[in-house]
């Protein structure tokens, strides 16, 4: 439909169209995907919808007009602060998700540095090479140079390397708890000492782990301190719509005290409409997402999150044990929770070709590069599909071993070529062109092969990129 219909379509027909449009989408209800969706079942989803609907039209832009939303946001911040071992001085805001939670600290600490330094400087921040790509976006948006620190042999950031990279332009250190590619928690206590020594802020990106690691630790798993117990940590981000199991569009950004948060506020006094003040990136902020986050935390409770964490970790251990029992496969690093990647240790077993075979069997498979691997992010619903996944994985490995030429076909060939092309700028240029086509006025939406789950990158970007690379 390119035009608004002259006469409105019957609402039942509109809803039927929406259901039809989703027929080709990723199959998350049957737990055939390992990312993107954190699903506890229809009962919890319907509860979140009801909580969201109660504040569907409310707007957190004006906390005076909607005092209830300010109360809900404040209580979510307080609950998150308590969970992450903050004291009574911890403050923060809710955001629209992990990306905003990564964007805001960069502009906040940039402006803080500008306020307390008096000589011109080019702001830099230091982050592991494993840091989430949202931080790269933040650096690009806000004119802060990203300085990458290498990883150690266990895929955590190399603290000695970070130490050597600090200079007069450094405004911020960033670490992950855990990193998205490997599920490894960076050595936060050592980084905290470094931050204190150099009087630098240290932000912990715990968008993935903030609402799971505390419960994993309470269950007795080894988790090195990563939160406000570490004196050098000045801020933490944690996504409610991930392992907090809230509705999408909810994350929380916490600061140790107001001395830091005040630099996040935007105020403009000269608008014809009067004084404008905003605590975070967005102006209009959907009340429903705030209400659903508050509802999830209260409805699940500490005992509920502990039960969820127990199921997740039991499932993760079963999955990792099953993967490592397959000859040639190995989990990368020492993941702290339910996020990990595994790779092939055999030259004649292409891990990307294994991923292709899994997709042929209906799984949506995420891939990583350097080193090449397949990625898993476990939720409670995966407990029911572990054996099916492992059976398909064993079969996929056997097929690839018997057919080495599969490494040169399909997505395996594309990922393999992209990972080893030295001209990264060419890839970026071509992908921008392809995205322009994808989001242009004549966008055509290719269908996925029947019975096969694919990512948007595989469906839209990589096929065209492969053509370019073969020229």
What's the pLDDT score for residue 366?
A: 92
Predicted confidence at residue 275, as pLDDT, reads 84
**Quick one: pLDDT at residue 446?**
54
**Tens of pLDDT along the chain (471 residues)?**
678 999 999 999 999 999 999 888 888 888 889 999 999 999 999 999 999 999 999 989 888 889 999 999 999 999 999 999 999 899 999 999 999 999 999 999 999 999 999 878 999 999 999 999 999 999 999 999 999 999 999 999 999 999 999 999 999 999 999 999 999 999 999 999 999 999 999 999 999 999 999 999 999 999 999 999 999 999 999 999 999 999 999 999 999 999 999 999 998 888 898 888 889 999 999 999 999 999 999 999 999 999 999 999 999 999 999 999 999 999 999 999 999 999 999 988 999 999 999 999 999 999 998 899 999 999 999 999 999 999 999 999 999 999 988 876 666 555 655 555 555 566 666 666 666 666 666 665 555 555 555 555 555 556 655 555 555
pLDDT of residue 120: 86
Q: What's the confidence (pLDDT) of residue 85?
A: 97
**Cis (ω within 30 of 0) for the bond into 178?**
yes
Q: What pLDDT, in 10s, does the model give residues 380-423? A: 999 999 999 999 999 999 999 999 888 766 665 556 555 555 55
Q: What is the pLDDT of residues 30-64, one digit of tens each?
A: 888 999 999 999 999 999 999 999 999 998 988 88
Q: Where along the chain do its domains lie? A: 52-298, 346-469
Q: For residue 237, which of 294, 288, 280 has the smallest C-alpha distance?
A: 280
Predicted confidence at residue 26, as pLDDT, reads 82
Per-residue model confidence (pLDDT) at position 271: 87
Rounded CA Rg of the chain: 23
pLDDT digits (tens, 9 = 90+) for 207-216: 999 999 999 9
- Please state which of the four CATH numbers 3.40.50.720, 3.40.720.10, 3.40.50.2300, 3.40.640.10 is assigned to the domain occupying 52-298: 3.40.640.10
Q: How many CA atoms lie within 13 A of 330 on its CB side?
A: 9
């Amino acid at each position: 439909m390119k035009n608004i219909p002259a006469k409105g379509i019957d609402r039942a027909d509109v809803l039927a169209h929406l259901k039809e449009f989703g027929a080709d989408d990723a199959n998350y209800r049957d737990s055939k995907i390992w990312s993107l969706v954190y699903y506890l079942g229809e009962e919890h989803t319907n509860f979140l919808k009801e909580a969201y609907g109660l504040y569907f039209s409310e707007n957190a832009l004006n906390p005076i007009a909607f005092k209830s939303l300010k109360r809900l946001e404040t209580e979510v911040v307080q609950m998150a602060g308590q969970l992450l071992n903050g004291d009574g001085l911890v403050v923060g805001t809710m955001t629209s998700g992990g990306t905003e939670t990564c964007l805001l600290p960069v502009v906040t600490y940039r402006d803080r540095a500008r306020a307390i330094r008096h000589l011109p400087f080019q702001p830099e921040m230091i982050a592991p090479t494993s840091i989430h790509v949202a931080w790269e976006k933040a650096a690009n948006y806000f004119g802060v140079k990203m300085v990458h620190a290498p990883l150690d042999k266990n895929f955590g950031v190399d603290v000695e390397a970070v130490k050597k990279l600090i200079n007069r332009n450094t405004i911020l250190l960033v670490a992950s708890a855990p990193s998205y590619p490997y599920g490894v928690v960076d050595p936060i206590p050592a980084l905290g000492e470094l931050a204190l020594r150099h009087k630098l802020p240290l932000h912990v990106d715990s968008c993935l782990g903030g609402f799971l690691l505390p419960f994993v630790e309470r269950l007795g798993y080894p988790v090195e301190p990563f939160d406000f117990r570490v004196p050098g940590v000045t801020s933490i981000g944690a996504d409610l719509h991930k392992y907090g199991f809230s509705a999408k569009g909810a994350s929380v950004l916490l600061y140790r005290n107001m001395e830091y948060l005040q630099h996040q506020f935007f105020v403009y006094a000269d608008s014809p409409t009067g004084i404008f003040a905003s605590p975070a990136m967005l102006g209009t902020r959907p009340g429903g997402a705030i209400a659903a986050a508050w509802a999830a935390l209260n409805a699940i409770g500490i005992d509920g999150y502990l039960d969820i964490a127990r199921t997740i970790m039991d499932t993760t251990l079963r999955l990792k044990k099953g993967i490592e029992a397959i000859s040639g496969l190995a989990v990368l690093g020492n993941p702290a929770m339910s996020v990990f990647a595994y790779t092939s240790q055999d030259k004649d077993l292409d891990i990307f070709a294994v991923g292709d075979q899994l997709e042929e069997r209906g799984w949506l498979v995420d891939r990583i590069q350097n080193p090449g691997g397949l990625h898993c992010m476990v939720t409670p619903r995966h407990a029911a599909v572990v054996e099916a996944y492992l059976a398909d994985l064993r079969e996929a490995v056997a097929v690839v071993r018997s057919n080495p030429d599969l490494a040169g076909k399909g997505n395996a060939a594309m990922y393999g070529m992209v990972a080893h092309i030295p001209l990264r700028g060419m890839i970026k240029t071509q992908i921008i062109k392809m995205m322009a086509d994808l989001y242009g006025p004549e966008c055509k939406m290719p269908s996925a092969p029947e019975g096969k789950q694919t990512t948007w990158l595989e469906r839209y970007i990589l096929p065209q990129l492969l053509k370019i690379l073969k020229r």
